[in-house]
Amino acid sequence: MWGGKTEALVSRLVRARIQEIPTLAFNAVSNTRFGTRDIRAHSGAGFPAVPVGKGADILKTVREERPKVVGIDEFFMIEGAFGAVRTMNDLGIKVVVSTLDMDSEGKVWESVGELLGIAEEVVKCPAVCAVCKADAYFTFRRAEAPAERVQRVLVGAGDYYEPRCARCFREGQEAKRAASGEGSLFGSGSA
């Protein structure tokens, strides 16, 4: 969501390559915004990547290529990625991940919650709130996005989503609920 997560990942992978450390990157096969054979930031910075759909695909390639550093973009989109990261940690491979931590309803991606538990370092890269310009840690799905509730991931970046701070995210969620007739998430306000 334009907070610099992928930019930071690319920077770390480029640095490892400059240091002549065997480096390999993976991109979710479903992340088709810029193609799947590169990790690509909104700024244009990129790094060659192997498109994968499952953690097992990551491990297969890692066993063949034997990297010392692995980068994974859009971790939350790759089924079984957490198990792959845990295995690579056990093998002594440094793993650098770029991911959203929550979906557009404000719910933590389960695999990301597990990842945070074993991470040696966590860097959150806030975007800029599309409404008030404060630091934004939430991904807000705009009302004009397709309404399929069962589809938790909708690839489309700026077409459907915008970064929001906590206050603007809550206000937007309330407005969507009111427009749909669902009522307030936080009650009527009277005690």
Residues marked active site are found at 74
Give kind and range of the element (H or E) at residue 12.
helix 5-18
Q: Which class for 133: exposed (0-12), middle (13-18), buried (19 or more C-beta within 10 A)?
A: exposed
Identity of residue 81: A
Q: Using CA atoms, how far apart are residues 29 and 20, in angstroms rounded to an integer?
A: 27
Secondary-structure breakdown of the chain: helix, strand, coil percentages, each rounded to the nearest 5: 35, 20, 45
